[in-house]
Structure 1
Amino acid sequence: MLCLLSFHTIEYCCSTSSDTSPWNYLDSYCGNITYNSGSTYRTNLNFLLDTLSSHASRTDNNGFYNFSTGDDASNKVYGVFLCRGDVNTDVCKECVADAHIRLLDECPNQTAAIVWYDECLLRFSDQTIFSKADLGENLTRCNPFDVPGPDWDKFKMVLINLLHNAADEAANHTLGKKFAVQEGNYSTDQKRLYTLTQCTPDLSPYDCKRCLTEAIMVVPACCSKKQGGRVIYPSCNLRYEVSVFYDTVSSASPNSPGGPPPNSTEGKGRSPPRAAFSIAVPLIGVAVVLFVMALVFLKRRLRKSYVAMAPETIAEILTAESLQYSLTEIQIATNNFSVDNKIGEGGFGRVYKGVLGNGQEVAVKRLSRSSVQGAEEFKNEIVVVAKLQHRNLVRLLGFCLEGEEKILIYEFVANKSLDYFLFDPENKRSLNWSRRYNIIGGIAKGLLYLHEDSRLRIVHRDLKISNILLDGNMSPKIADFGMAKICGVDQYEGNTNRIAGTV
């Protein structure tokens, strides 16, 4: 049974073929550069593939092995195999052996190639591929059946949470497999959703999480509203379904749903107190080591995630009275920042219309990497606006601070900004005197609140008509607090050492 696949969205459509392999072959990728069949590179490649195949039968490698051979750059070849974390050694060995044959058949003289099976992958290249998160060629596949409409919103949120939890667990896997499964209910009648994530064990926790996060971001584009799907990169992969597709016994861990209770003694007698003590002491030592390792990892992760921000800036953002969203949630809400969803653009970046999982419409302000609004202004806008509540100020719902992404999520304001009406010959006709008067009054009330009545005394410093948004009733809302200055409650004048705002 051979499934029809591509490097884009792939549905479960299969047709009978002459392929008699017992393994679920998915697809292969062949590089563009070729070598001569009688060259040293081919000799080294044959040796490499034989070596990988022989190591697949070993029980001490956790279903993963990498190897390289060759004397110089012109003939050196690198290879790796990875078996799914829940398959046993016999399945791993047979899958890699089958992949060995297919790889040479599919890519007879290419210097780089990958073959994907459900149970394993096999790969080689003339460039080093070890300990690197490869986000190049990928394979996506989706279940042809849709999630029933009433269940979709809940399904989507549960899926995101399960995938991110599984990605965190895989990245921090202490047994070396970097493999995790998670499951949970997505409907009131206890319908279950099953997820699986895996990285090549040579990746660092940070690179594993980064690779899986990229894979999670692909899900909305390839498998929206589908009951199952998978995204496979050379260095990591994920899959989800509404039915179990992995070995629940092999996959179970004390930290994952379905795993045995950590203190279970079923089928065992009680140990004497002395034995219990002798076991407990080394376990405490292990726990201390793992705790220290976790602290180091978290420290490194924060330093890499918020690369441009000082610790005090991060602390202020994370304690702001607003909700932190994941990048995946924002991508789903905006259809992966689709051009069709773009509603504005400025020096800071672009603004997109989005719809959250609960159906709420939002405006998503995505700062570009070259944005004039830097880390300090981003922090300022979160900390300031999160503390403000007034009908004439735009309401900040949350933010996303992930990797190099800096994103603000606001309430959606239907009628864009005031300049859209004032400078458009057609639109300005709708601004009769009564509406203009109400807009002026609303702006004044918003400023009065900022200057006098809020729990902070705030000077906006960049008030202009493009920063005045109009809701469905044409009521004004002051926006864009990146340049705002917080003053003392009793402070009525101050000094500045630079010009702020729009020139």
Structure 2
Amino acid sequence: MCDLALKTLFFSLLISFLHLFHHPTSASPLYHQCSSSTYTLNTTYRTNLNLLLSSLSSKASANNGFYNTTIGENQDQAYGLALCRGDMSSYDCQKCLDEASGEITKQERCPNNRSGIIWYDNCTLHYSDQAFFGQVDVFAGFFMWNIQNTTQPDDSNVDVRALMYPLAANAPSQTLMFAADGSDAEGYGFVQCTRDLSVADCQKCLGAKMERVLECCEAKRGWRMLSSSCMVRYEAVKFLSSPAEPPAVPPAVPPDEVKVEISEESLLNSMGSTSSKIALHDDNQEISYDQSQELPIIDLATILLATNSFSDKNKLGEGGFGPVYKGILRDGKEIAVKRLSVNSEQGTEEFKNEVILIAKLQHRNLVRLLFCSIERKEKLLVYEFMPNTSLDVFLFDPVKRVQLDWQRRQNIVVGIARGLLYLHEDSRLRVIHRDLKASNILLDHDMNPKISDFGMARTFKGNQSEANTNRVVGTYGYMAPEYAMDGLFSVKSDVFSFGVLLLEIVTGKRNIRFNIMEQAQSLLTYAWQLWSSNQGLELIDPLIVDSCPIDEALRYIHIGLLCVQEDAADRPTMSLVVLMLGSEYAALPEPKKPAFYAGKVVSTSGGSSTMEIDMSN
């Protein structure tokens, strides 16, 4: 958040009541913020940014006042989000955003800054070279207040609380994430979130704003608090517009459980064209741009050069899909290349699944797919390279685990939770990962976690909550019992896997191949035994027990046990998990006994790798 003195100075320049009588189509920006990083004007990023800004106003006004999208790729990719106040007409919305799009890159605003945000009375426009969709920003932004105090003799904020708190409670569940009300007696107010947020994150953002309101603005006749994720405003006089009825936004309906056929012939033909991108196909129909990201292709010769012809020295590891190699492109960019094993039917299906899914997903805690290649019977996926490999390499190594102090472990847990929440609730698809485990959590330069390997993921329809499969594929020790035994999977299956992972991160111990003096068959059994006997402290990894906040570590264990409860209905959703992880004051229910089960392994590739489980007796 900007410096308090700056905020005060900014608002002190406003004459009393000036903002109260702002006309709805006024084009005066309230405030703007720019990043310190800059770009050269004659670059691809600037071209992409111009295209992005030119499209936001019309798209947002046609979509009930909200739109977010990206243009470009790699370091030249531009992300943009536009939001209009929920009571604005389509005309006023587009007019405000047109003004914002032209204003934000002016010399006195953000002329060559790589990210920026500008607020108006009626709209907000935000762009960046970094992915920010679905990420709640509670603190950044600014606030303003009317310099005149209320004349109410008693508690000046009683009526304000009665008006604003119900709005803040109601807005997150509304289609537009907007709520407004008021009267001449109690004043007028509105609250609003950007619609890329989950319900839980909207609640979190609005809750933080309302907490700060009484600190800064008690007894004021008007105030507002704005950030890139949400805003709240109260005035003693009416300022809201009164449209007849806000149009309903139809809920996004993700496609059926993935049933895709990627036409190899069409991909190969695309490689021979002058286009640098290919369009994926679903049921032999091309997926339009507003439904899926187009995926850049790369020729086999470039990959062979980058990986030294798939040299064993470049090999990073191997999974059910096939081997993974490190490569270096001509420009010095490091990549990771997944190479489909020859004659692997399972790998072919995973390849199709991963390309279709990950091309549509973007989040800072998901690994990024850069290129795809199908040439000379080679099927290749090219990802951003993660220099710190995967979480299991550090977590289960007695030497490397020292590098995972409590702060890093906490950051990894929260990052995984946010990535999973995005998959379950906030992406354009509703995705069940089905193979969440330590080796599928990659770590970047700063040890930030990235969920990877979507070959086994499945998508749900809008109202679908669970599905069955006759082919149970996953990793022993991470699979929920209802999935391992009955083939039933849902978002709660992923929650179970997350709970196992959370307990492993806090304890530094594997759930599989677990054995402490034969006291327990698994980490879950052991954790439950100690927790039930009030010995939870013994679960914390000895390497961090003397330096971590004990109450916080025990809270994480508590949350982990809630996630691995035997009955899926008892497990929390990921939105609730994120809320519990982020709030030390949220009351946690007592966990019930976790699931203890043993699957019959019929095929495996060793270690904790993918396998099938025979559900028959």
- Structure-2-length-normalised TM-score: 0.38
Pair member with larger Rg:
1
